[in-house]
Amino acid sequence: MLGTTLLLAGCPSPWPRPSPPSSPGPIPPAQPPSAPVPAPSVPPAPPRPQAAPRENHLSPATRSLVTQAHRLLAHGDIDGASSTLDRALRIEPSNPLLWIELGRVRLTEGDAHQAEVCARKALALASGDHAAQAQAARVLADALRAQGRNPEAQEVESRAYLP
């Protein structure tokens, strides 16, 4: 084994051997410190435009259903108006305007608790839409009053965007 190691040690390697480190050569003279180079100036970013208030709209299909629900209410068909608005909500479940309409129908039915639920859902969805927030707050305040919760109704009105 020792003989094989010695024999292989003398064999030329297919890889080049590293060359010894070269001497660094003369050291250049020290340069006098120069003035710091200023960083390139970056113009300030323009002010961000304020986001315009969001405004919710009904699609043509849901607008037609809301109009139909209003006609049904005008003729005293509360159940028909309610189921028509339920159909509209299946089309646009995250539209606060539909929840406001359904809350109004629930108040007309005398179901103040469900009207409150609809109004709170509308408020949650109406973020940034001041008009929808005001309408939802009005329905919520009316629902709270119908439940005899007048102080809460006044608090909602004082915090809301009510005209």
d(CA 17, CA 126): 75
Mean pLDDT of 123-129: 92
Specify whether the CB–CB gap between 75 and 88 falls below 8 A: no
Q: What's the predicted TM-score (pTM) here? A: 0.67
Model confidence at 2, pLDDT cuts 50, 70, 90, reads: very low
Can you list the domains of the chain with their CATH numbers? 60-159 (1.25.40.10)
Interval 3-36: pLDDT, tens: 455 444 554 545 555 555 555 555 555 555 565 6
Question: pLDDT, tens digit, for every residue of 67-110?
Answer: 999 999 999 999 999 999 999 999 999 999 999 999 999 999 99
Q: How far apart are CA 95 and CA 124, in angstroms?
A: 10
Reading the block at residue 4, the tokens are 């094989």
